[in-house]
Structure formats: structure tokens, C-alpha cells
């Protein structure tokens, strides 16, 4: 594997399949730590097998949206189910028309906002992406991206003013399923965004799995397990001479790591290159699941 050409990093991580293709191996044989997903999530593939018949029917988006709202603990009329967190970002950005972003932050805000205006609402990820730090109590934003909040603070939302955006993709480790949501400040705003949303906004399989997944959420348990696993990850990185920054998220940001992404990729382990954030010598390393930390340790020890 060491001599294979490594494809350049994508804009948002999740490069495991592309690296696997370059190495000539199955994607499941690559440890993809460039995508920060919940390593303690239930087996979504096993749950999906129960609902394959939904592929023959139009989805019941309303039922899924109602179950989602109940699980979030938010009034039904304020919740908009979307095909992933990226769709929630795009829909709310189009609805608002303008906003501003304090860089570095997640690149899709700037991509989808029709106009950047420092007088408009601030968009802010919480925990902050890429540093992984939770927002302080005095921070203010008009749009809070809480995609990773369930894994960093043990809650779906902090219930702050303005908009909140979320992603079941991260909490349940199912990026291929595409399930996200927006929580509007009121029913009228949610209705306006819902009107922009395509009909049958998520697939029948995705809608059915909302009903399976929400009752299985264990946010406090996941957050505690991730904190322990993150501490183990930090210890391994430090043992190899790196100095990861403090983080509350299911990843750590590692400065002084130029060239590490390609070196690890040749050994079948992928980490997130942070050049897209303007951090050219940093990588972001997702917290590995049970049994995967040893593989990362061995890859770091290699040439």
C-alpha cells in the first residue's frame, strides 16, 4: 500500500472511499478518521434491513418529522426535516438571504449564503469546527449549527434564540442515509423554509429509520464514552510527538502535522486535512471506535 498514489483531500473530509480506491482495497478496510461520526452508534445497517420495503413506497415525511420533533423536545411546527445537515444549511441560508461567518468555520455556510454581510446574522458551529470547542455562554449567533452538539454536550439543542441546525448523520453514524433538520425560531419561519423544501424531502428508507433511531439515542452516554475515547486518542497522539488542542468534540485538531494525512493514508488510515479551513499544517482526527485506536497507533509508528 505504501507506494500507491494518494488522492488529494476533499473539501469536507470523508475521504475513505477515494483513498480505498487508490489503494485498491475495499472501503471497509480503510479506517476513515477524516469523518467525525459516532463510534458508539447503533448498527444502522441492521436496522435498515427491516425497512427495505419502503423503497417501493413514497415516504411519509410528516410522520418522520413528528417523531423527530418529539425526540428533540421541540414543538412540532418549528422542526423541518431535511436530507442531511447540508440541506438544512442550504435551505436556511436561502431563506435568510445573508449572513456572516467568523473564519475558520464550516465551509458550507459561506458556500450557501447568497450574500455575506457583517450586519446580518452570524453563523456559528457549536462545538466549533475545526477547533472542537463548545461555545461559551456569552457567545451570540443567529444560526447555530449543532450537528455535533449531541456528541459534545449530551443534548440535541441548547435552545438558544434564532435558528438551530442538526444532523442525525453524525449522531447515528449514517452519512449515506442523509438525515438532518432545522429548528426555526417560530412556526412561521419553519413554514417558509418547509415551502422551499422539495416534495418528499427524504427517502422512504430514511423516513422509516427516523422512527427507529430516535428512541435509541443515548446522548449523555455517548458524550461520556466519547470523552473517554478522546482522552485515549490524545494520549496516543502525544506519545508520537504531537500536541492536539483541547476539544469537546468527537475529534481533535492537531497542529504541526504537515504531510501526516498522506503518510497515514498510505497505511490505510485517513485523517482530515485542514487546508480548507486555512490551517495548512493541521489535521483533524476523529475519535476512533473500539479497537481502532491501536490501528492508528501502529500507522503513526510507521514510516
Q: Which of residues 201, 216, 231 is at a domain's end?
A: 216
The CATH number of the domain where 79 resides is what?
3.40.640.10
Distance, in Å, from the CA atom of 65 to the CA atom of 145, rounded to the nearest integer, reads 19
Beta-bridge mates of residue 145: 125, 165
CB contact at 8 A, 217 and 171: yes
Q: Which residue has the cell 472501503?
A: 27
The pLDDT value given to residue 72: 98
CB atoms within 10 A of CB 208: 24
171: which 3 cell numbers? 449522531
For residue 184, give Cα distances in angstroms to 88, 121, 155.
11, 14, 17
| Closest residue by Cα to residue 64 from 211, 168, 212, 175 | 211
Q: Which of residues 161, 194, 216 is at a domain's end?
A: 216
Q: Which domain holds residue 269?
A: 16-36+219-301
- 25 with 148, same domain: the answer is no
Beta-bridge mates of residue 148: none
- 164 with 275, same domain: the answer is no
- 229 with 102, same domain: the answer is no
CB contact at 8 A, 82 and 201: yes
Per-residue pLDDT of 222-271, as tens digits, reads 999 999 999 999 999 999 999 999 999 999 999 999 999 999 999 999 99
Residue 254 C-beta-side C-alpha neighbours within 13 Å? 28
Distance, in Å, from the CA atom of 92 to the CA atom of 169, rounded to the nearest integer, reads 18
CB atoms within 10 A of CB 204: 20
In a domain, 4, yes or no: no
- 117 with 166, same domain: the answer is yes
Number of domains in the chain: 2
The tens place of each residue's pLDDT in the chain, 303 residues long, gives 556 689 999 888 899 999 999 999 999 999 999 999 999 999 999 999 999 999 999 999 999 999 999 999 999 999 999 999 999 999 999 999 999 999 999 999 999 999 999 999 999 999 999 999 999 999 999 999 999 999 999 999 999 999 999 999 999 999 999 999 999 999 999 999 999 999 999 999 999 999 999 999 999 999 999 999 999 999 999 999 999 999 999 999 999 999 999 999 999 999 999 999 999 999 999 999 988 999 999 999 987
44: which 3 cell numbers? 444502522
- 284 with 175, same domain: the answer is no
In a domain, 138, yes or no: yes
Question: What is the C-alpha end-to-end distance of the chain, expressed in Å?
Answer: 12
Q: Which of residues 166, 195, 216 is at a domain's end?
A: 216
- 124 with 27, same domain: the answer is no
Amino acid at each position: 500500500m505504501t507506494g500507491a498514489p494518494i488522492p488529494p483531500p476533499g473539501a469536507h473530509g470523508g475521504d475513505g472511499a477515494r483513498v480505498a480506491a487508490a489503494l485498491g482495497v475495499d472501503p471497509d478496510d480503510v479506517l476513515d478518521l477524516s469523518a467525525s461520526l459516532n463510534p458508539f452508534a447503533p448498527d444502522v445497517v441492521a436496522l435498515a434491513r427491516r425497512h427495505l420495503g419502503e423503497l417501493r413506497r413514497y415516504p411519509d415525511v410528516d410522520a418522520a418529522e413528528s417523531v423527530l420533533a418529539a425526540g428533540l423536545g421541540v414543538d412540532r411546527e418549528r422542526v423541518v426535516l431535511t436530507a442531511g445537515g447540508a440541506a438544512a444549511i442550504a435551505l436556511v441560508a436561502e431563506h435568510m438571504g445573508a449572513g456572516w461567518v467568523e473564519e475558520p468555520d464550516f465551509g458550507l455556510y459561506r458556500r450557501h449564503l447568497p450574500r455575506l454581510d457583517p450586519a446580518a446574522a452570524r453563523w456559528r458551529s457549536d462545538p466549533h469546527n475545526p477547533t472542537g470547542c463548545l461555545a461559551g455562554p456569552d457567545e451570540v449567533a443567529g444560526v447555530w449549527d449543532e450537528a455535533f452538539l449531541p456528541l459534545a454536550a449530551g443534548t440535541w439543542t441548547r435552545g438558544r434564540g434564532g435558528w438551530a441546525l442538526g444532523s442525525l448523520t453524525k449522531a447515528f453514524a449514517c452519512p449515506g442515509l442523509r438525515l438532518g433538520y432545522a429548528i426555526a425560531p417560530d412556526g412561521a419561519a419553519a413554514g417558509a423554509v418547509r415551502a422551499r423544501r422539495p416534495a418528499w424531502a427524504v427517502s422512504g428508507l430514511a423516513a422509516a429509520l427516523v422512527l427507529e433511531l430516535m428512541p435509541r439515542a443515548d446522548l449523555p452516554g455517548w458524550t461520556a464514552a466519547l470523552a473517554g475515547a478522546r482522552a485515549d486518542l490524545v494520549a496516543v497522539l502525544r506519545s508520537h510527538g504531537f500536541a492536539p488542542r483541547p476539544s469537546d468534540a468527537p475529534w481533535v485538531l492537531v497542529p504541526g502535522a504537515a504531510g501526516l494525512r498522506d503518510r497515514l493514508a498510505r497505511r490505510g488510515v485517513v485523517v482530515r486535512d485542514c487546508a480548507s479551513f486555512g490551517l495548512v499544517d493541521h489535521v483533524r482526527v476523529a475519535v476512533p471506535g473500539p479497537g481502532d485506536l491501536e490501528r492508528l497507533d501502529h500507522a503513526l509508528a510507521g514510516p
